[in-house]
């Protein structure tokens, strides 16, 4: 794998404090924000691990804002993160996949200069079968950093290149936190015996090209012609042995991106005839993953433009996405152009 395994004993708190040196304007507020957030992740790591025992699985009678039946663990995760983050004084507003609109900071708590958006439990369709699920998050500075009023929708709907930090936790055989604040991508593994996230891989670099593609092929009949041409070509054996590619698809974005980050290749959720803007959400799924993959040397577009340059129009806006190794994403874009999809 193209990154260094570290042997020094570095907790995420120490790592963030050391990274603060790259941000002279840092007041320590950002470090305290992340400390509170990792507390929520520690709680969710415990609760996801015990989910099968606590009977929190299974369908609720609730529906989320998108009309999808919501599993109890989704709601629980949303509440855990909100309660961990609502009183620290670092945030002026939050928003999540499970929230209809903005998640306000309670009146009697100070409004800070940061904004947190998150998908509390990505991959909820996999909760019942013990397949990896995760939490995805992004942090922005509010538009007026001097304001002390509640944050607004404009503070949340910022283009992805404005992200101050982004990351995801993956609750699998171990709980890993993959994180960037614009200075490369680092991986922390949770040690439940000491309750700490320890730095395990530093400055991940995604391979320039991989040999894996990741997409829900069940939608192939609905894809734009360029996507079908691109995937057909990946399956055509080449004389240099680079093709055919292998298909790997977990159905949890966190798991599919995590594998792509380490092994290279491409993760795609294209638009299709029934979902003209794809399925995945720009603000709290695709933007954070795009920031991470770009920081690891990869590429993330909607098939035509850089994801991080897109100005969001609404909180739950969907966007087609092609994310992964630079060469693989560019090949997909070229196939879309060749087929006249743009
Ligand atoms: P499909 C999980 O429900 C999710 O939001 C992402 O984590 C995942 O990449 C995608 O949807 C899977 O969608 O349509 O392939 O089941």
Instruction: Report CA(126)–ligand 1 centroid distance (Å).
Output: 9
Give the pLDDT of residue 2: 39
Q: What is the mean pLDDT of residues 292-315?
A: 98
Give the pLDDT of residue 20: 77
For a substitution probing ligand 1, which of 67, 69, 122 has the most ligand atoms within 8 Å of its CB? Answer: 122
Q: Is the pLDDT of residue 25 over 80?
A: no
Sheet hosting strand 246-247, strand order edge to edge? 246-247, 212-214, 266-269, 321-324, 299-301
Q: Give the β-pairing of 266-269 and 212-214.
A: parallel
Q: Report the C-alpha gap between 105 and 86 in whole angstroms.
A: 5
- Higher-scoring residue by pLDDT: 214, 27: 214
Q: Report the C-alpha gap between 30 and 24 in whole angstroms.
A: 12
Give the pLDDT of residue 3: 46
Average pLDDT, the chain: 91
Cβ density class 104-130: b for 16+ within 10 Å, e for less: bbeeeeebbbbbbbbbbbbbbebbeee
Atom of ligand 1 nearest to the CA of 123: 2
The token pair at 210 is 């991989």
Q: What is the pLDDT of residues 67-100, one digit of tens each?
A: 666 558 888 999 999 999 999 999 999 999 999 9
Q: Flag the least confident range among 121-125, 274-278, 303-307.
A: 121-125
For a substitution probing ligand 1, which of 66, 97, 251, 320 has the most ligand atoms within 8 Å of its CB? Answer: 251
Q: Give the β-pairing of 212-214 and 246-247.
A: parallel
Nearest CA to ligand 1 atom 3: 123
Q: Establish whether residue 123 lines the binding site of ligand 1, counting it when its CB lies within 6 angstroms of any ligand atom.
A: yes
Q: Report the C-alpha gap between 271 and 299 in whole angstroms.
A: 18
Q: Is the pLDDT of residue 15 over 90?
A: no
Give the pLDDT of residue 4: 47
Query: What CATH topology corresponds to 212-338?
Result: D-Maltodextrin-Binding Protein; domain 2 (3.40.190)
Q: What is the pLDDT of residues 239-280, one digit of tens each?
A: 999 999 999 999 999 999 999 999 999 999 999 999 999 999
The pLDDT confidence band at residue 327, using thresholds 50, 70 and 90, is: very high
Quote the pTM value.
0.93
Q: Establish whether residue 279 lines the binding site of ligand 1, counting it when its CB lies within 6 angstroms of any ligand atom.
A: yes
Q: What is the pLDDT of residues 39-52, one digit of tens each?
A: 999 999 988 887 76
Give the pLDDT of residue 144: 97
Q: Flag the least confident range among 55-64, 117-126, 227-236, 242-251.
A: 55-64
The token pair at 75 is 């709601």
CB 256 within 8 A of CB 246: no
Give the pLDDT of residue 9: 84
- Higher-scoring residue by pLDDT: 255, 62: 255
Q: Where are the chain's structural domains?
A: 12-201, 212-338
Kindly report the CATH class assigned to 12-201.
alpha beta
Q: Is the pLDDT of residue 235 over 90?
A: yes
Q: Is the pLDDT of residue 300 over 50?
A: yes
- Higher-scoring residue by pLDDT: 271, 17: 271
Give the pLDDT of residue 5: 54
Q: Report the C-alpha gap between 203 and 185 in whole angstroms.
A: 5
**Tokens 């961990």 belong to which residue?**
84
Q: What is the pLDDT of residues 156-196, one digit of tens each?
A: 999 999 999 999 999 988 999 999 999 999 999 999 898 89
């Amino acid at each position: 794998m193209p990154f260094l395994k570290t042997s020094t004993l570095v907790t995420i708190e120490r790592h963030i404090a050391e990274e603060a040196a790259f941000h002279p304007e840092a007041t320590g507020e950002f470090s305290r924000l992340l400390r509170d957030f990792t507390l929520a992740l520690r709680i969710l790591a415990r609760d996801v691990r015990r989910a099968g025992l606590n009977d929190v699985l299974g369908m609720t009678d609730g529906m989320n804002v998108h009309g999808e039946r919501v599993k109890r663990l989704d709601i629980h995760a949303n509440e855990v993160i909100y309660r961990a983050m609502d009183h620290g004084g670092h945030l002026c507003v939050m928003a999540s996949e499970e929230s209809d609109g903005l998640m306000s900071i309670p009146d009697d708590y100070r409004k800070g200069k940061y904004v947190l958006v998150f998908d509390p439990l990505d991959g909820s369709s996999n909760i019942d079968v013990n397949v990896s699920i995760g939490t995805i998050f992004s942090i922005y500075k509010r538009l007026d950093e001097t304001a002390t009023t509640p944050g607004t929708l404009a503070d949340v709907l910022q283009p992805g290149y404005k992200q101050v930090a982004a990351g995801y936790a993956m609750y699998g055989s171990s709980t890993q936190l993959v994180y960037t604040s614009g200075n490369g991508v680092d991986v922390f593994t949770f040690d439940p015996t000491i309750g700490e996230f320890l730095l395990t891989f530093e400055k991940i670099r995604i391979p320039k090209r991989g040999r894996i593609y990741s997409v829900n092929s069940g939608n192939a009949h609905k894809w734009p012609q360029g996507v079908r041409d691109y995937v057909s070509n990946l399956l055509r054996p080449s004389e240099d042995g680079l093709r055919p590619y292998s298909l790997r698809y977990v159905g949890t974005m966190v798991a599919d991106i995590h594998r792509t980050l380490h092994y290279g290749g491409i993760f795609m959720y294209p638009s299709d005839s029934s979902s003209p803007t794809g399925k995945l959400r720009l603000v709290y799924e695709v933007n954070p993953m795009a920031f991470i993959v770009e920081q690891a040397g990869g590429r993330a577009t909607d098939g035509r433009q850089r994801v991080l340059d897109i100005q969001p129009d609404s909180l739950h806006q969907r966007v087609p996405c092609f994310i992964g190794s630079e060469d693989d994403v560019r090949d997909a874009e070229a196939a879309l152009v060749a087929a006249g999809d743009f």
